Structure 1
Amino acid sequence: MAITTCIFDAYGTLFDVASAARIVASEPGREDFARHWPKIAEHWRLKQLQYTWLRAVIGQHTDFWQVTQDGLDWALEAERLDKDPDLRARLLQLYWELEAYPEVPAMLHSLKQGGLNTAILSNGSPDMLNGAVQSAGIGDVLDDVLSVERVGIFKPASVVYDLVGQRFACSKDEVLFVSSNGWDAGAAAGYGFTTAWVNRMGDPVDRLPARPNHFLSDLTGIPKLARA
């Protein structure tokens, strides 16, 4: 069946999760942070994801803003930069204004011009996602922004992927699901979506029951893939 609906993960897929730390590292007076920012950005993202998985397993859900703060606190403490409340506040402020990857606006416009449904499906809380969408200026090329807060558990729980069919009244084989997280693309493939893993870092494939269907280095090829 032809693809009718393109669904995107948000953080790391449409929005550059390292941009907050990168911007702070370039600001005057942040020379100490600048020496640590790549590792902090990496640990911040890793702990953020780990906390979503652990909370899902133990059944103690909280929203994505809380795990974002918890992940940052761990990363700052690991680099012994946890005694600067202004640094923490600045990093968290910028997380509401993450930069979109350069190819995102044109890619989404192309999908909409082709008559496809477009939406975000994310672990992010609705207010965080709306802030990022507005900051990136892509709200006019998205039909919806779906958050796990509707079901109270993080991806890759199958009830999260159920939200797509409920919203767009489409079958699983009409959906192209796009994520920069290999585990997310793999889990969505196992669920029944056609999936594309945007593997910007050239990482190995996660050892999971299902593999992504397509492998890309950025998002520019998504419109062609959706039409194939």
Structure 2
Amino acid sequence: MNPKPRPTVILFDVNETLLDLAPLKTSVGKALGGREDLLPLWFSTMVHYSLVETLSDHYHGFGEIGTASLMMVAKNQGIDIQYEDAKEAIVTPLRALPPHGDVIASLKALSQNGYRIISLTNSSAVGVETQFKNAGLTDLFEKRYSVETVKKFKPHPAPYRMVLDDLGVEPNEVLMVAAHAWDLAGAKNVGLQTAFIARPGTSLYPNVERPDYVVSDLEELVRALK
């Protein structure tokens, strides 16, 4: 039995948690001369430099950081790529990612069970608006939040606190759902409940408190929250 109180708000990460990165694997691989295996390295580089920007009090949009990160990975692999080609390989597919197969039905079930459905992403406000429109998710969410508002990337406390302040809720009323251990570490630090979705290639970080829920997909989370 989970000891936490029943949350009233479920706060979703977007990229990889809700949206499938498979089209990015294809486009990144093509830009890197067929090296689709470099997608995880590109993604981790993008997350790394989003944290560098946050800690050094700078801010560029996630798409800009993603483009720069692709150019860095290419250079380190001895692959020549131009800025506009790198941007095209990242921004266009990033805004047209399909939802994972368990997403739409699970979001509807959670909403029907009385939960408020919210999102918080490192993507820009325009970016996530386009993503949700293309993925057919817009009407399933009460609100969308972007770190662009506070210009601090997750897992910095500011984005999570922004959501709490705007919604007027206490931290333990909110369940953060993500496929990234670093995101959940940030949410837990602010006092949110957390749920880890074990998407392929993701894993827990052993040096922080274990999430309140660890599930293989959103359907399992729906069952756990009933």
Match of 2:33, SS state, is helix
Alignment of 1:59-74 (within 5 A): 59-74=57-72
C-alpha displacement of 1:87 = 5.0
Aligned twin of 2:25: 21
Give distance in 2, aligned partners of 1:32 and 1:212. Answer: 35
Alignment of 1:35-184 (within 5 A): 36-39=35-38, 41-83=39-81, 88=86, 89-184=88-183
Q: How high is the sequence identity, in percent, across the aligned residues?
A: 24
C-alpha displacement of 1:149 = 1.2
Aligned twin of 1:188: 187
- The amino acid that maps onto 1:59 is D
- TM-score, length basis structure 1: 0.87
Counterparts in 2 of 1:206 and 1:5: CA distance versus 1, 3 Å: same
C-alpha displacement of 1:52 = 0.9
Counterparts in 2 of 1:187 and 1:124: CA distance versus 1, 3 Å: same
C-alpha displacement of 1:182 = 0.6
> How far does the alpha carbon of each residue in 1:33-91 deviate from its partner, in whole angstroms, 9 at most, with x for none?
33x1122x112101110011111111112221211111121223333333367753244
C-alpha displacement of 1:108 = 0.8
Aligned length: 221
> How far does the alpha carbon of each residue in 1:18-41 deviate from its partner, in whole angstroms, 9 at most, with x for none?
42222676xxxx59833x1122x1
Match of 2:218, SS state, is coil
Q: Which consecutive unaligned segments of at least 5 residues does structure 2 have?
A: none
Match of 1:188, SS state, is helix
- The amino acid that maps onto 1:6 is I
Q: Which consecutive unaligned segments of at least 5 residues does structure 1 have?
A: none
> How far does the alpha carbon of each residue in 1:155-174 deviate from its partner, in whole angstroms, 9 at most, with x for none?
11112111222232222111
Give distance in 1, aligned partners of 2:132 and 2:70. Answer: 22
Does 1:225 find its partner at 2:224?
yes
- TM-score, length basis structure 2: 0.87
Is contact 1:161-1:188 (8 Å) kept? yes
Task: Point out the more displaced range, 133-142 or 73-82.
Answer: 73-82
Q: CA RMSD in A?
A: 2.3
Is contact 2:177-2:194 (8 Å) kept? yes
Give distance in 2, aligned partners of 1:17 and 1:85. Answer: 21
Give distance in 2, aligned partners of 1:172 and 1:127. Answer: 27
Task: Point out the more displaced range, 107-116 or 159-168.
Answer: 159-168
Is contact 1:124-1:147 (8 Å) kept? yes
Give distance in 2, aligned partners of 1:212 and 1:134. Answer: 30
